[in-house]
Structure 1
Amino acid sequence: MEQNTNNIELLNKITEFINSIGISCKPSSVKRDSFLPGVDIINGGIVYDADQLLSPGDLLHEAGHIAVLKEQDRKDVTSPEVSGDLDPGGAELSAIAWSWAALKHLDIDPEVVFHDQGYKGDADNIIDNFRREHYFGVSMLQWFGMTNERQHDGTGGDILYPAMQYWLRQN
């Protein structure tokens, strides 16, 4: 990651948020063969090497993987297996939806999380869909007790996605 003032401020904003919701996120050396450059999940926490990161937004996405796990799975999760009781596809969709809610909460540009070097080249499609409120993965967050999905008739509860009632899975 380029070490300019904006990236450092963004990194601090993101890591402070992740730590504030109860997921440890701290700088450390990261093995080179991690799934995302400069990021690893070890024993329920995130470690990162700012010099290796593609984007500080990668930390939000990895936090999403941890946040959607059951509490007993969260505390022990270690890369590369980060799906817990979810199938890998469901875990990824949930982490994407969680990441969108987090970036909206933090008022961060979507391109910070959904950048060109990730998401198998589909970052622009994800951003376009979520900007148009064509969400995916939200029904899982609702099932986990984290938020409410807007219903077709406009109802859905007091707190509607992308706002979150809880940042960590409740059930």
Structure 2
Amino acid sequence: MDPIVKKLTDFLATIAIPFELRSIECATFLPGLCLEHGKLLIDLDKLKYPGDILHEAGHIAVCEPKERHLLHGDVFKFGTQHGRKPGNMHGEEMAATAWAVAAIQYLQLPLELVFHEAGYRGASNNLIEAFARGDGFGFPLLNAWLMTDEERGYPHMQRWVREVSWA
């Protein structure tokens, strides 16, 4: 296994994000990755960008706890399939990105791993610069969900998996 992928999957195991290394036969949004009922499936033969592991794991980590097991397939379709208004997943999308940045910094790996050239609709360099300056997005939700370290603030985390639900 690629040493970067090993480091990422070891991290996921440590923080109890469920994942499984196995072949994925269906079409996926990101090569080699699929969410299946709250578990991240990773197909090592099809995985192109290891940093995408963290972004997809971020969706599991920031999902409302009572809905986490429902995450399956396309996360944007997830919202409307489960009674949320269209576009309601955008906050969790931003939070998943901020979560992935916190994880990559915790692991002392470069931001380019998450913001690779093939992702983020050509805005990878802008995102790298923004998060490197501390001007990224999504972390206010991590704060609201009591995930960030209260004393040091983002990107330092006190918990990696959301426990707070909206009433």
Q: TM-score, normalised by structure 1?
A: 0.85
- Do the aligned partners of residues 32 and 111 (structure 1) sit closer, same or farther apart at CA in structure 2, a change above 3 Å counting? farther
Q: Could you tell me which residue of structure 1 aligns to residue 151 of structure 2?
A: 158
What one-letter code is carried by the residue in structure 1 that aligns with 2:69? K
Q: Could you tell me which residue of structure 2 aligns to residue 4 of structure 1?
A: none
Q: How far apart, in 1, do the equivalents of 2:131 and 2:69 lie?
A: 30
Q: Deviations over 1:22-67 (max 9, x none)?
A: 1112211113411101100101111111121121111100000110
Q: How far apart, in 1, do the equivalents of 2:75 and 2:102 lie?
A: 23
Q: Secondary structure at the match of 1:26?
A: strand
Q: Could you tell me which residue of structure 2 aligns to residue 170 of structure 1?
A: 163
Q: Could you tell me which residue of structure 1 aligns to residue 42 of structure 2?
A: 48
Q: How far apart, in 1, do the equivalents of 2:22 and 2:122 lie?
A: 28
Q: Secondary structure at the match of 2:161?
A: coil
Q: Deviations over 1:91-122 (max 9, x none)?
A: 21101100100000001111111101111111
Which of residues 23, 45, 49 is equivalent to 1:29?
Answer: 23
Q: Could you tell me which residue of structure 1 aligns to residue 52 of structure 2?
A: 58
> What percent identity do the matched residue pairs reach?
37
Q: Could you tell me which residue of structure 1 aligns to residue 105 of structure 2?
A: 104
Q: CA deviation at 1:159?
A: 3.2
RMSD over aligned Cα, in angstroms?
1.7
Q: Could you tell me which residue of structure 2 aligns to residue 154 of structure 1?
A: none
What one-letter code is carried by the residue in structure 1 that aligns with 2:115? F
The list of structure 1 runs, each at least 4 consecutive aligned residues, that deviate by more than 4 angstroms after superposition, is 82-86
Q: Secondary structure at the match of 1:101?
A: helix
Unaligned runs of 5+ in 1: 1-6, 149-156
Aligned partners of 1:144 and 1:170 also within 8 Å: yes
Q: Could you tell me which residue of structure 2 aligns to residue 124 of structure 1?
A: 125
Q: Could you tell me which residue of structure 2 aligns to residue 90 of structure 1?
A: 91
Unaligned runs of 5+ in 2: none
Q: TM-score, normalised by structure 2?
A: 0.87
Aligned pairs, how many? 157
